[in-house]
Amino acid sequence: MRETIWAWIIQNVTHQIAEDLDNALSSESSYLGLHAVYYSYPQHLALYRNSMPEYCRIIGNVCVLPYSMGNEDEIDESEAEHLLTLGFTKVDWEDRGAHGTIFDDYDTLEHFQQVRDVQAIFARGLPEGDYEAEELVMLMEDLNPRLFNTLGAAVRAVSRAQNEEDIAHVGISGRRYIEQLADVLFPPRAELHNGRSVTKVKFRNRIWAFICQAVAPSIENRDEEIRRRGLEVDRLIDEVNSIIHGMPDKTRALKILFDLATLSIDLLKLDPTVTRRPYDAFNDNILKFLRESLDDEAT
């Protein structure tokens, strides 16, 4: 006898949430069980990540349904009405950009093997170990995988560093990461923001501007919370600059990157809706495709 087995892939949850879900479903006779999925394992990547479509994102009691590449024709209001009957308080729609399209080159085995290796390094250095490293990967892979690639390149560069020049290149990667983080948090603008320049080169001001916007007005000691985060931004920018200018201590360089990862988690969690930029990581591929298409038409 042959039976059909249905599978759900629940991405970006902690081990604790997965265990709670497993316990909640264990009494169902049709439930076969739960296992971890590792995209650095070829079969998992092929069967789960690259073969199964994404259905929804759940944020508390809100269900968010995706459409891709600005194609609002994919929106089905009857589906939203059905989901409201299941207990969700709200159903939203979001443009998932180029995720899962031909422009998405973050779905390869090589990419996820690098993710696994970098996550293992962060797990050894972040205060909360595996949990915090996993959270960092989940946030960056979801919001902007290019951010993770840049930070991962800096971490790998530390492990390979042999001399002061190698360490300086680690600092350059760290500086590029901070600039890209600023682009995600608060894109550059020509006009002043609260009297300060927020152009492309003023990435420090742009991160401060994001913090001022993202920390809720109702939070207790709001000014202190803004100042605490802003001063940490200033410290880490100065620390990264010290790496560029010849600080040859590999251990300290790695600690700075760990602190930068911790800060990133804090900032990205302040407002994930604003920091989710579904086209940013794929812009180069999209522009390349458009140029090649125009060249083909011209010939």
Residues 263 and 178 sit within 8 Å (Cβ to Cβ): no
The Cα 141–Cα 107 span in angstroms is 11
Q: pLDDT (tens digit, 0 to 9) for every residue of the chain, 299 residues total?
A: 688 888 888 877 777 888 899 999 999 999 999 988 888 899 999 998 888 888 898 888 999 999 888 888 888 899 999 999 999 999 999 888 888 888 988 889 988 888 888 888 888 888 888 878 887 887 787 778 888 888 888 888 887 888 888 888 888 889 999 999 999 999 999 999 989 999 999 999 999 999 999 998 888 899 999 999 999 999 999 999 988 886 668 888 888 988 998 898 889 888 877 778 888 888 889 999 989 888 877 77
C-alpha of 44 from chain center: 21
pLDDT of residue 297: 76
Q: What does the block give as tokens for 116?
A: 């696994």
Q: Decide if 123 contacts 129 (C-beta within 8 A).
A: yes
Q: What are phi and psi of 163, to 5 degrees?
A: -150, -175
